[in-house]
Amino acid sequence: MTRILGCIIFCAAAYAQENVSTFSIVARDAQAGDWGVAVASRYFSVGSVVPWAEAGVGAIATQANVNVGYGPQGLKLLEQGLSAKEVLKRLLDEDTFEGKDGRQVAIIDAHGNIAAFTGPNAPKWAGDRQGKTWSAQGNILVGPQVPDAMGKAFESTGGELAEKLWAALKAGNDAGGDSRGKQSASMLVVRKGGGRNINNDRYIYINVDDAPDPFPELRRLLDINLGLLYQEKVGKLTGAGDWKGARGAAQKVAHYQPKSMQAQMTLGLLDYAAGDKAAALEALRQAKSMDPENFRRRFEQVAGRTAYKSILEDKEFLTNLEN
C-alpha cells in the first residue's frame, strides 16, 4: 500500500511539472516586417504555450521547465524598449517560481537582437544555436544535430519567413527532433496589418494540437493560410490597378492552391491581361479540366468585368480554349 501511494504521489508530481520538451525557432525578416516562431513537440497543443510574438515588437519561445508568463511579460518589456538581452535578464531575475534552472527561452527584439537561455537543468539533450536573424533551441532532443540542422535549413531556404520557419522545423524533425516522438506543432508569424481581413497582425497562426505526425497537417494548413493571404492580395492589387503585382500574387495562390479552379482561372485572366496568351491558355485549360461543368459560367462571370472584357472579344483565343 505504501509503495502504491508513493507511486501515485510521484506520478502526480511528474505530471504537474511536465516539461514542454520541444524544438523551436524564433526569427525575423526585417524587409517584410515579420517576426515569427515555429515549434514542434511530443506535448499536447504546444502552440498554446511556447510561441509568442507581436508585430513591430519581437518574438519569444518559452519552453522546457516552462514559465508561460515569459511570453506575455517578455513582449510587454520589449514594447517598453528593452533589448532582447535586457528582457531575458529581467525575466530570469524576477522569476520566483520553482525550477528556473530548467527553463529554456529565446527572444528576438524589434531590431533583430537575439538572446537565448538554456538552463543547466533543462532536460537533456538541451541547447541552442543562433544566426544573424534566428535562434533555434530545444530540449529532450536526440542531440545538437537538431538545432544545427534547423539553422542550416533556415539560412539555405529562400522566400518569406513562414517558408524559412517551416524548412527549419522540418529539418529539425528530420534530424531526430524530440527524442520521445511527435504530437503537436505550431507556427506564428506577425506582420503589421498583414493578417486576413481588417486590423489583424497575425499573418500566420496555425496549430496541430494532437497527431501521430503533425508535420503533414502543419504543411497543409500553411498552404491554405498562405493561399488565402495571397488571394486577398490579388483583390487589393487589382483594385489599385497594379496588374503586375496582382499577377505575381495570383501565381502564389495557384502554387498554394493547385487544385483550385478559381485560382487557376484568376491566374489565366491576369496572364491574358499581361499579354502572355500562352500562359493564359495553359492556366485556363487547367482550370477548365478541374471543373468543366462550372468553368464556363464562372469564366463568363469574371471575364465580363471591365478589366478582363477584351478576352471575350478574342475569338481566336476562345476557340483555342475550347479545343
pLDDT band at residue 19 using 50, 70 and 90 as cut-offs: low
Give pLDDT, residue 130: 98
* CATH code reported for the domain at 238-322: 1.25.40.10
How high is the pLDDT of residue 179? Answer: 80
High-pLDDT (> 90) share of the chain, %: 85
* This prediction's pTM: 0.90
Its CATH architecture, for the domain 15-212, is 4-Layer Sandwich (3.60)
| pLDDT at position 18 | 55
pLDDT of 15 strictly over 50: no
List, edge to edge, every strand of the sheet that includes 51-54.
Answer: 51-54, 58-64, 103-109, 114-118
Query: Reduced to 3 states, what is the DSSP secondary structure of residue 63?
Result: strand
Mean pLDDT of 296-319: 87
The residues of the chain that CATH labels 1.25.40.10 are 238-322
Distance CA 80, CA 77 (A): 5
Average pLDDT over residues 221-250: 95
| Helix 84-93 / helix 70-79 crossing angle, nearest 10 deg | 130
pLDDT surpassing 70 at residue 4: no
- The pLDDT, as a whole number, for residue 1 is 44
Residue 303, pLDDT score: 85
Q: What is the pLDDT of residues 39-70, one digit of tens each?
A: 999 999 999 999 999 999 999 999 999 999 99
Q: What is the mean pLDDT of the chain?
A: 92
Cis peptide before 35 (omega within 30 of 0): no
Do residues 114 and 128 lie in contact, with contact meaning Cβ atoms separated by under 8 Å? no
Q: What is the pLDDT of residue 12?
A: 37
For cell 515549434, the residue is 39
pLDDT of residue 301: 87
What is each CA distance from 237 to 201, 212, 233, 242, 251, in whole angstroms? 19, 40, 6, 5, 13
pLDDT of amino acid 178: 79
What is the reported pLDDT for 308? 81
Determine which of 20-34, 108-122, 141-155 has the lowest per-residue pLDDT on average: 20-34
CA 8 to chain CA mean position, Å: 40
pLDDT at 145 over 90: yes
pLDDT exceeds 70 at position 8: no
pLDDT of residue 33 exceeding 50, the answer is: yes
Q: Which residue has the higher pLDDT, 301 or 36?
A: 36
More confident call, 304 vs 176: 176
Task: Check residue 3 and give its pLDDT.
Answer: 46
Segment among 69-83, 165-179, 292-306 with least mean pLDDT: 292-306
Locus of grid cell 478576352: 311
Percentage helix, strand, coil, to 5, in the chain?
50, 20, 30
- Which pLDDT score is estimated for 34? 98
pLDDT for res 309: 83
